Structure 1
């Protein structure tokens, strides 16, 4: 059983079907994967970390101790009742993937302890993953793919987390805070908890955007927008460094490709307006260019042409599609795109 729609996932996590013996949760954002696994474990077990009722395994356990996984799935709870077995995989190695798939098959068929719940937390499982294929077809198994959180998901998490400490943000402050959150859920949650401490747990404050000035500080240097500007300006080293800093902050390859597409869109709009008789500086302002970036943007606008940008747009669309392919090296794809754009820019004299 595959659960890919958010309402279906939320219903399952709140009230999982009693005949489910295994759940495979996977995705690039390990914070989302961990959150959903924790939610399910807490829903079904009063003490999900109790060592007498729970076994926590890693990929290295599967590799170094063949049969260990099936032993844990066969064991009975020492205190009576249901047993929980949790396994964390990276999703990168075929050996543990296959071994887990074999153990899962035997478990859902009732050959091991039928009272045990098997939760697998994995990274991005490609279409060639044996575990993914087996889980999607097996009766008694739920498979939950996890995708990158959207702004609405982050806003909801921020409101709920802050509410537990009896603090909140008004609409403008919430929008500002969410726009500055890293995309990786685990890191974002730590930032939300840090904000709760900043506002004062239990204070009842409803903070405004102005109240967040000291907390947020200046925009991070690892801005994807800055990386895109560097790429179109022919500064490969700076662009690549910016992409890698952004990746460390949770901004993945797809977001990097979108940032380069957005910058190309502003250049195209500016050149189109200029072609129709509007002054280049006025055209840049009409395209939403930030005043601090205006000088560099105009330098690029004088070098690039609409025909060249049309060629680059095709490359960006190809990179965007490649990033969305399951299991793709999206960070490498975005860096190759930046390399290609910077190379073109250098040939233009930038």
Structure 2
């Protein structure tokens, strides 16, 4: 079975050439799929600017003519040299699967085949053919984990000659992920904004990348746990004005209550001090939010935390049943939690 793990890709792409003439790059992170497919294409040695040497196809182009893939893969470059067939937006299309089945274990000659696909389940037709072929390689692409995001930050900011403060890095990490190309573009936008300064601060991240709606969601959650009804109302108004779903505030409060539940358990059941509990269970909390979390941890008892989580979850369910009243339902539930935080 020819498949590399996500963390093995960097070493693979650094090696000279590749013994695999058929490469499937797949996964839910379409930006990362596209980026890694381009890196594999660069390893083939084919001139990617030469339209006679590179044929780009959509998977749908093969649906009515499965034999076309075999024909193109077996074709000789017009001016000699290696040839690349690059198929994008693949899934488990029958024409594509039949085409790859026909060429999987044949002599590829001087041709290369790269297939970009979405998230494919284990055992699906396309993965099964590629993974069971001796001449093919499957490369999975999943959303960046914490380590991947840090590496991406270091790569882009290092290239731009910029250092970054610890609090700015923490905030930046929370804004990235999900799509590699989108994350990379955001980092380049930040680097351009801070060009010539030498160092990126937390304020720079907020000004260059801060989504007003996302920041308002954070403000609303902070207001709930601070017991500040006026600040909550102001944040909700900004969220509604930006056409952002107020459900995000409900979810944010539930997530923070879940963290409080774990930390409060340490306080009540294991005699930890609130500060110790935050150190042990609150590593993902931004340092500017920690005073709010510590206050909430001292204020909310374990039983009350679980009761309020259930109420907020019920509110989420109710917004799904009556979407036309989402704002009113959420505002009432959030205001209740806010007043109980006083």
Unaligned runs of at least 5 residues, structure 1: 231-237, 246-255, 313-334
**Pair 1:149 & 2:149 matched:** no
Residue matched to 2:103: 107
Contact 1:53 1:82 in 2 (8 A): yes
Residue matched to 2:182: 187
| Aligned with residue 245 of structure 2, among 241, 244, 249 | 241
SS at match of 2:245: helix
- State the distance in 2 between where 1:84 and 1:156 align: 30
- State the distance in 2 between where 1:277 and 1:110 align: 67
- State the distance in 2 between where 1:276 and 1:149 align: 35
* Within-5 A mapping of 1:297-308: 303-305=304-306
The verdict on how the C-alpha distance between 1:11 and 1:272 changes in structure 2, with shifts beyond 3 A counting, is closer
- State the distance in 1 between where 2:125 and 2:314 align: 30
Residue matched to 1:199: 194
Q: How far apart are 1:105 and its partner, in Å?
A: 2.9
Residue matched to 1:234: none
SS at match of 2:63: helix
Q: How far apart are 1:53 and its partner, in Å?
A: 0.6
The verdict on how the C-alpha distance between 1:31 and 1:225 changes in structure 2, with shifts beyond 3 A counting, is farther
- State the distance in 2 between where 1:265 and 1:161 align: 32
The verdict on how the C-alpha distance between 1:110 and 1:4 changes in structure 2, with shifts beyond 3 A counting, is same
Residue matched to 2:162: 168
SS at match of 1:119: strand
The verdict on how the C-alpha distance between 1:126 and 1:283 changes in structure 2, with shifts beyond 3 A counting, is same
The verdict on how the C-alpha distance between 1:30 and 1:20 changes in structure 2, with shifts beyond 3 A counting, is same
Moved more, 59-68 or 27-36: 59-68
- State the distance in 1 between where 2:157 and 2:4 align: 29
Contact 1:53 1:78 in 2 (8 A): yes
Tell me how many residue pairs correspond in the alignment.
Answer: 292
Residue matched to 1:235: none
* Residues 156-210 of structure 1, C-alpha deviations (whole Å, 9 max, x = no match): 2223223334x3123524343233224311111110111121122xx37233445
Q: How far apart are 1:2 and its partner, in Å?
A: 1.3
The verdict on how the C-alpha distance between 1:284 and 1:6 changes in structure 2, with shifts beyond 3 A counting, is closer
- State the distance in 1 between where 2:80 and 2:57 align: 21
The structure number with the bigger radius of gyration is 2
Residue matched to 1:37: 37
- State the distance in 2 between where 1:268 and 1:50 align: 58
Contact 2:6 2:141 in 1 (8 A): no
The verdict on how the C-alpha distance between 1:13 and 1:342 changes in structure 2, with shifts beyond 3 A counting, is same
- State the distance in 2 between where 1:55 and 1:110 align: 20
* Residues 104-157 of structure 1, C-alpha deviations (whole Å, 9 max, x = no match): 23223226x521111111111012411111111111111111222122222222
The verdict on how the C-alpha distance between 1:243 and 1:66 changes in structure 2, with shifts beyond 3 A counting, is farther
**Pair 1:118 & 2:113 matched:** yes
Q: TM-score, normalised by structure 2?
A: 0.67
- State the distance in 2 between where 1:26 and 1:221 align: 33
SS at match of 2:115: strand
The verdict on how the C-alpha distance between 1:2 and 1:185 changes in structure 2, with shifts beyond 3 A counting, is same
Q: How far apart are 1:302 and its partner, in Å?
A: 6.6
Q: How far apart are 1:49 and its partner, in Å?
A: 3.7
Contact 2:26 2:119 in 1 (8 A): yes
Contact 2:56 2:86 in 1 (8 A): yes
- State the distance in 1 between where 2:302 and 2:90 align: 44
Q: How far apart are 1:28 and its partner, in Å?
A: 0.6
- State the distance in 2 between where 1:146 and 1:337 align: 36
The verdict on how the C-alpha distance between 1:21 and 1:273 changes in structure 2, with shifts beyond 3 A counting, is same
SS at match of 2:76: coil
